[in-house]
């Protein structure tokens, strides 16, 4: 259910509010107008009136009328995704069935079958995307199943999530953090995979604003401060290129596109450099307006002009025009050296390619004659349906497999007959076999890559030509799961192994039955379940399988009986006439953590009464006082405290939201916490001495360990030390940066 603001809103002028609502609606109509008929606009008006009436008593958490949200989703659907009138109607109605008394039958009556079908898909999956709930794996699988019906369902939900992220300020911090992590975990990669580059970048930026606000603000400010200088550089760089393009009569646009904040932060972390040393903060994009049959030739002509003025880096040429990415992306990328000694990325593409890059597969619908239109979204959806069919019951395994295929870049390999196949990076010859056909994968003995014999686990590279060698006697083996990366191959291998295990387990079942008779134990469901528990299996099939392969035998059953003779929990089993204990009579042990949290439901105060709750500071991010943190209730290690921007936070909050508890630091007493810093610089006499003196003497801190490596005049090292809080650590980092020779100091895990 959508979360509404229950607080009474006072001092509202109804007439003024009505005018504002109409202003929003007219804004939606104006963006729809160029591509809609009068009849379309009539349907949009009908949907607006219907939604306005349905949501008349609803308000968002910000206090504004709820109708603003569906109107905004409709605008995103038109302007940023490129869909038509039917999708606008569905956007206006997307919360009506779930949040009001209107039913799907009402939608069918007023708006017809097509709209009702999409609204039904949106309603079925709305709980996953709603601000009150976390995205759980099983629900996400259900959401993907709706793709089989109409891809507009997922596109409208993507627009819904984008608007929710844009208006996240009005929610409390805990919900902001949870929704931001959900967005990073699934929605940003989903937008990327569907080809919506602009939406993906904005989702990542908005998520960073809440997961790491200090970093977001810092990079935003630096981008603003350097904007004038950047524009001057772009103008000077493009001046000679424009001159030649004008002389040759090329119809073009040149844009200077700044990288997204999250992308810049990713570079800073990966390369371990400050903002000032990220050189490719922007890219030059040259968009050529040319007929589709001339696109490739004209893009290479522009490339030739650019490289006449600036020397290209041959290792950084990317030709996605000849071989588009699996999400439909087409462009020519090169990195060239400017006259000022800076590397500059130049992207060259046609107007059609730019539309597809910005608006994803939806843009293909405007170019129906396009060769690549057929091969785009349908192939991807077929791949998803394949994963859905072959996935195991464990939904979390499914999510990991799906995300693996969602995130990964592609390689392009060829069959012996020259047919091109796209696979995720890291795919092996066995993945390739399963991509051809399940039977080919199941019977795969090995492969020839570029005419050389290779094992099943051989990783493939773009351009490889692969021939699969099969045998009817071959069957999938458990170790094959370690040879594959694609969800399809994993699913097929697991399904085959399960089928094989079932056959073997049938023999084991008969074997166990004979042994139970020997020991005068009834072979009934209760007793089998108790044996499953005793031998630490997950299901009876595992028990039968172990007896079939002689991993368990009669001596194990005798050990089991001797345990119960000593008064174990299963002692009633030996006597078949003893009373069967009902499951309800065996009480689960009370979880002491949950019990204490019920007794003290407020925010967990870290550092206050260490004996009250069993918690530890997680070593993956080493939180210290001053960090924004949360608690995670583990299965066996009590509560673990993580930083909000911990590398593992995204997965924990997305998968296990029900285990997250609020936490904050108790500042009543001074406690030392372990933290670490990474230092890089020019190796100089006495630098280690200066460093340890500063930490130990001036700051009076205890050093736990120090590790410095020097190499060819430079050094790199880590220092683990005990500090009181983030302010204490930040002051130390600032002081270390002033030591002669030190070039970079960062906190470990930042």
80, 95, 99, 386: the active-site residue: 99
Dihedral angle at the C-alpha atoms of 419, 420, 422, 425, nearest 10 degrees? Answer: 110
Provide the β-strand partners of residue 742.
Answer: 681
Contacts of 721 (CB under 8 A, 6+ apart): 674, 675, 676, 677, 695, 701, 702, 703, 704
Q: How far apart are CA 440 and CA 468, in angstroms?
A: 8
- Residue carrying structure tokens 């260490």: 610
Sheet of strand 714-723, all strands in order from the earlier edge strand to the far edge: 703-711, 714-723, 673-682, 742-747
Tokens of 187: 């929605």
DSSP for residue 451: T
99 as an active site residue: the answer is: yes
3-state SS, residue 342: coil
**C-alpha to C-alpha distances, 145 to 187, 406, 495, nearest whole angstrom:** 16, 16, 20
Catalytic, out of 3, 40, 79, 98: 98
DSSP three-state, residue 339: coil
From CA 699, how far away is CA 722, in angstroms rounded? 11
463: left (phi over 0), alpha (psi -120 to 50) or beta: left
Which H or E element spans position 719? strand 714-723
b/e for 233-252, b at 16 or more Cβ within 10 A? bbeebbeebeeebeeeebeb
The residues facing 257 across adjacent strands are: 283
Q: How far apart are CA 448 and CA 468, in angstroms?
A: 6
- CA distance linking residue 35 with residue 445, whole number of Å: 55
Farthest CA pair distance, the chain: 100
Cα 525–531–532 angle (5° rounding)?
85
Catalytic status, residue 280:
no
DSSP string, 391-426: --S-HHHHHHHHHHHHH--EEEEE-TT--EEEEETT
**Rounded Cα distance, 107 and 580, in Å:** 54
User: DSSP string covering 549-614, please?
Assistant: TTSS-HHHHHHHHHHHHTT-TTGGGSSTTSPPPPGGGSPPPP-HHHHHHHHS-S-EEETS-TTTS-
Residue 568: partners with Cβ closer than 8 Å, 6 or more residues away: none
Give the integer Cα–Cα distance in Å for 104 and 123: 9
Q: For the chain, give the number of residues.
A: 750
Give the start-end residues of each E strand in 433-576: 444-449, 452-454, 466-470
Distance from C-alpha of 662 to C-alpha of 664, rounded to nearest angstrom: 7
What are the φ/ψ torsions at residue 686 (nearest 5 degrees)?
Answer: 85, 5
CA distance 340 to 655: 48
C-alpha 399/C-alpha 675 separation (Å) is 33
Q: How many alpha carbons lie under 13 Å from residue 91 in its C-beta half-sphere?
A: 33
462 in Cβ contact with 412 (< 8 Å): yes
Task: Tell me which residue of 48, 37, 56 sits closest to 73, measured CA to CA.
Answer: 48
CB contact at 8 A, 375 and 425:
no
Which amino acids are annotated catalytic? Answer: 98-99
């Amino acid at each position: 259910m959508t979360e509404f603001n229950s607080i009474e809103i006072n001092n509202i002028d109804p007439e003024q509010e009505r005018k504002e609502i109409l202003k929003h609606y007219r804004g939606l109509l104006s963006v729809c107008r160029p591509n809609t008929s009068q009849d379309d606009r009539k349907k949009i008006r009908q949907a607006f009136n219907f939604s306005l009436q349905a949501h008349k008593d609803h308000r968002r958490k910000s206090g504004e009328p709820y109708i603003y949200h569906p109107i905004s989703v409709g605008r995103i659907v038109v302007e940023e995704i490129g869909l038509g009138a039917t999708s606008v109607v569905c956007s206006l109605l997307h919360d009506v069935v779930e949040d009001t008394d209107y039913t799907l039958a009402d939608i069918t009556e007023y708006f017809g079958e097509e709209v009702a079908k999409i609204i039904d898909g949106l309603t079925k999956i709305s709980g996953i995307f709603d601000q009150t709930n976390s995205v759980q794996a099983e629900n996400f699988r259900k959401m993907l199943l709706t793709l089989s019906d109409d891809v507009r369902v997922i596109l409208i939900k993507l627009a819904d999530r984008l608007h929710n992220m844009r208006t996240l300020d009005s929610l409390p911090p805990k919900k902001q953090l949870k929704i931001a992590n959900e967005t990073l975990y699934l929605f940003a990669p989903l937008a990327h995979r569907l080809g919506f580059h602009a939406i993906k970048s904005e989702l990542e930026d908005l998520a960073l604003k809440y997961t790491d606000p200090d970093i977001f603000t810092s990079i935003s400010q630096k981008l603003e401060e350097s904007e004038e200088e950047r524009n001057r550089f772009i103008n000077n760089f493009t001046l000679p290129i424009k001159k030649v393009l004008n002389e040759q009569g090329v119809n073009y646009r040149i844009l200077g596109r700044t990288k997204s904040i999250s992308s810049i932060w990713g570079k800073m972390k990966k390369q371990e450099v400050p903002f000032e040393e990220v050189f490719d903060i922007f890219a030059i994009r040259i968009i050529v307006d040319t007929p589709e049959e001339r696109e490739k030739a004209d893009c290479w002509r522009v490339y030739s002009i650019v490289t006449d003025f600036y020397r290209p880096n041959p290792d950084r040429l990317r030709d996605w025009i000849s071989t588009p990415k699996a999400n439909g992306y087409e462009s020519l990328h090169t990195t060239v050296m400017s006259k000022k000694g800076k590397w500059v990325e130049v992207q060259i593409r046609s107007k059609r390619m730019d539309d597809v890059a910005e608006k994803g597969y939806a843009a293909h619908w405007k170019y129906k004659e396009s060769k690549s239109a057929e091969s785009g979204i349908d192939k991807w959806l077929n791949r998803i349906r394949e994963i859905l069919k072959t996935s195991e019951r464990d939904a979390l395994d499914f999510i990991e497999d799906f995300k693996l295929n969602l995130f990964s870049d592609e390689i392009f390999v060829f069959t012996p007959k020259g047919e091109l196949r796209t696979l995720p990076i890291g795919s092996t010859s066995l993945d390739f076999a399963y991509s051809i056909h399940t039977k080919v994968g199941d019977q795969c003995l090995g492969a020839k890559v570029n005419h050389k014999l290779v094992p099943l686990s051989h990783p493939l590279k773009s351009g490889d030509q692969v021939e699969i060698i099969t045998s009817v006697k071959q069957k999938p083996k458990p170790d094959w799961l370690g040879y594959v990366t694609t969800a399809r191959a994993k699913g097929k291998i697991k399904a085959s192994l399960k089928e094989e295990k079932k056959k073997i387990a049938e023999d084991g079942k008969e074997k166990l039955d004979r042994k139970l008779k020997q020991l005068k134990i009834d072979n009934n469901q209760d007793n089998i379940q108790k044996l499953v528990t005793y031998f630490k299996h997950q299901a009876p099939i595992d028990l039968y399988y172990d007896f079939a392969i002689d991993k368990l035998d009669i001596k194990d059953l005798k050990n089991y009986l001797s345990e119960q003779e000593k008064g174990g929990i299963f002692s009633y089993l030996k006597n078949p006439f003893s009373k069967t204990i009902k499951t309800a009579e065996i009480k689960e042990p009370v979880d002491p953590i949950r019990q204490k949290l019920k007794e003290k439901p407020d925010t967990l105060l870290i550092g206050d009464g260490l004996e009250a709750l069993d918690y530890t500071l997680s070593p993956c991010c080493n939180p210290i006082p001053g960090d924004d943190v949360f608690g995670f209730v583990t299965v066996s290690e009590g509560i673990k405290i993580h930083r909000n921007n911990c590398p593992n936070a995204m997965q924990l909050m997305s998968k296990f939201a029900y285990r997250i508890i609020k936490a904050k630091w108790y500042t009543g007493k001074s406690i030392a916490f372990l933290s670490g810093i990474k230092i890089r610089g020019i190796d100089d006499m006495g630098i280690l001495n200066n460093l340890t003196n500063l930490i130990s003497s001036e700051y009076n801190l205890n050093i736990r360990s120090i590790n410095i490596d020097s190499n060819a005049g430079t050094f790199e090292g880590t220092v683990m030390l005990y500090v009181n809080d983030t302010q204490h650590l930040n002051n130390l980092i600032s002081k270390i940066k002033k030591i002669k020779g030190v070039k970079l100091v960062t906190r470990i895990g930042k």
